[in-house]
């Protein structure tokens, strides 16, 4: 990195690079229940095994907890976001996950969390799940929206018929390079707290953090992705190409999905601000990002620009 491109804040170097993200399809679901505990049980189950579209079929996460005054039926609730590579893939994931994780969970109901324009693409929510009622299901239209009531052993499962599908963005990311594991985890956890305070985004990996950052391709032809060896500290003295110096002993990545380009940018910004606030004194050395030279997706998030330091 040239001196002209160097940006250092609180002793932390921010690489002159960009994160590369790609188009996705997404929706928001609102899960309600008799109390917050059961709404959370359903939301956790629905968003399980949803870290990456590479193998999970979707990326999903809890967006936030909702107060009774914020939900369609006045009960405690949880908002979840689900992302997939196409509307068809998203429809499959919604039906399977709602059917197996929400319909089955005591006292729950599920509604769309998006209004969407009248001509928006929509996908089934309760439309097909109603058949579990074996002919006893009934529907009701309220303010132009159709809801299905399905008899279950604790009363009724209520599900809105459809939910809008919107264009979204997946794959925004930050790489946190630190002296050791303790420093990297501390910085990543601070960034996660800051990012999760924002609406319209999720961090789909466990705890919001991923340690197995990947690159496209592999020496093994059957694998579409493999370990990002350039950022693996154990390979620093061995790899043909390394992005690490000897003082970096641990790297953590945070992946961000958002409903809009601006939502991902905002999350990356507050995440970086949280990391640099900890500073070099806390063991943080650099912030970088993963990209594929602009070949993976059209959304390029330049770290210096996000911090208002472009051209610094």
Cα 143 to the center of its chain, rounded Å? 31
Of 182, 45, 52, which Cα lies nearest the Cα of 103?
A: 45
Tell me the mean pLDDT in the region 287-293: 91
pLDDT digits (tens, 9 = 90+) for 279-289: 999 999 999 99
The pLDDT score that the predictor gives to residue 5 is: 64
Q: Residues 289, 299: contact at Cβ < 8 Å? A: no
Q: How many CB atoms lie within 10 A of CB 251?
A: 23
Question: 298 Cβ partners below 8 Å, 6+ apart?
Answer: 22, 23
Query: Two tokens at 276?
Result: 């640099």
Local structure of 143: helix, strand or coil = coil
Say if 3-17+168-306 and 25-164 have the same CATH topology: yes
The pLDDT score that the predictor gives to residue 240 is: 76
pLDDT at 43 over 70: yes
Total residue length of the chain? 312
Q: Give the pLDDT band (50/70/90) at residue 312.
A: very low
pLDDT at 221 over 60: yes
* Burial (Cβ within 10 Å: 0-12, 13-18, ≥19) of residue 134: exposed
* Burial (Cβ within 10 Å: 0-12, 13-18, ≥19) of residue 261: middle
Q: Give the pLDDT band (50/70/90) at residue 296.
A: confident
Tell me the mean pLDDT in the region 247-260: 98
Query: Two tokens at 294?
Result: 């602009």
pLDDT at 265 over 70: yes
pLDDT at 1 over 50: no
The pLDDT score that the predictor gives to residue 4 is: 47
CATH number of 3-17+168-306: 3.30.70.520
Q: Give the pLDDT band (50/70/90) at residue 224.
A: confident
Q: Across all residues in the chain, what is the average pLDDT?
A: 95
Q: How many CB atoms lie within 10 A of CB 192?
A: 19
User: Residue 45 belongs to what H/E stretch?
Assistant: helix 36-46
Q: Give the pLDDT band (50/70/90) at residue 3.
A: very low
Q: Residues 211, 218: contact at Cβ < 8 Å? A: no
Q: Which residue has the tokens 């496209």?
A: 216
As a whole-number percent, the residues of the chain with pLDDT over 90 amount to 89
Local structure of 127: helix, strand or coil = coil
Q: Which residue has the tokens 């609102």?
A: 30
pLDDT digits (tens, 9 = 90+) for 66-91: 999 999 999 999 999 999 999 999 99
pLDDT digits (tens, 9 = 90+) for 27-37: 999 999 999 99
pLDDT at 155 over 90: yes
pLDDT digits (tens, 9 = 90+) for 105-133: 999 999 999 997 777 899 999 999 999 99
The pLDDT score that the predictor gives to residue 140 is: 96
The pLDDT score that the predictor gives to residue 311 is: 55
Tell me the mean pLDDT in the region 183-210: 98
* Burial (Cβ within 10 Å: 0-12, 13-18, ≥19) of residue 246: exposed
pLDDT at 207 over 90: yes
As a whole-number percent, the residues of the chain with pLDDT over 70 amount to 98
Q: Domain spans of the chain?
A: 3-17+168-306, 25-164
pLDDT at 2 over 60: no
CATH number of 25-164: 3.30.70.520
The pLDDT score that the predictor gives to residue 293 is: 82
The pLDDT score that the predictor gives to residue 196 is: 98
Q: Which residue has the tokens 């994780």?
A: 101
Least confident of 89-93, 142-146, 262-266: 142-146
């Amino acid at each position: 990195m040239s001196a002209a491109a160097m940006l250092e804040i609180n002793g932390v170097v921010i690489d002159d690079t960009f994160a590369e993200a790609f188009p996705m399809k997404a929706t928001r679901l609102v899960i309600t229940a008799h109390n917050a505990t059961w709404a959370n049980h359903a939301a956790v189950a629905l968003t399980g095994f949803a870290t990456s579209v590479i193998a999970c079929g979707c990326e999903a996460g809890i967006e936030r907890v909702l107060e009774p005054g914020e939900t369609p039926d006045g009960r405690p609730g949880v908002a979840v976001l689900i992302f997939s590579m196409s509307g068809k893939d998203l429809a499959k994931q919604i039906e399977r996950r709602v059917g197996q994780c929400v319909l089955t969970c005591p006292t729950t109901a599920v509604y769309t969390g998006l209004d969407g324009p009248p001509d928006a693409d929509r996908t089934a929510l309760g439309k097909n799940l109603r058949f579990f009622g074996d002919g006893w299901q009934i529907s009701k239209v309220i303010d132009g929206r159709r809801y299905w009531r399905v008899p279950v052993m604790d009363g009724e499962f209520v599900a809105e018929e459809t939910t809008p599908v919107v264009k979204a963005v997946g794959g925004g990311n930050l790489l946190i390079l630190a002296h050791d594991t303790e420093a990297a985890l501390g910085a990543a956890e601070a960034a996660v707290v800051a990012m999760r305070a924002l609406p319209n985004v999720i961090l789909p990996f466990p705890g919001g953090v991923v340690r197995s950052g990947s690159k496209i391709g592999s020496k093994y032809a059957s694998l579409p992705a493999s370990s990002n060896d350039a950022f693996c500290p154990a390979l620093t003295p061995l790899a043909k190409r390394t992005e690490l110096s000897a003082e970096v002993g641990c790297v953590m990545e945070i992946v961000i999905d958002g409903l809009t380009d601006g939502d991902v940018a905002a999350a990356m910004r507050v995440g970086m601000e949280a990391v640099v606030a900890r500073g070099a004194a806390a063991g943080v050395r650099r912030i970088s990002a993963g990209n594929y030279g602009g070949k993976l997706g059209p959304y390029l998030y330049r770290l210096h620009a996000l911090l208002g330091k472009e051209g610094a």
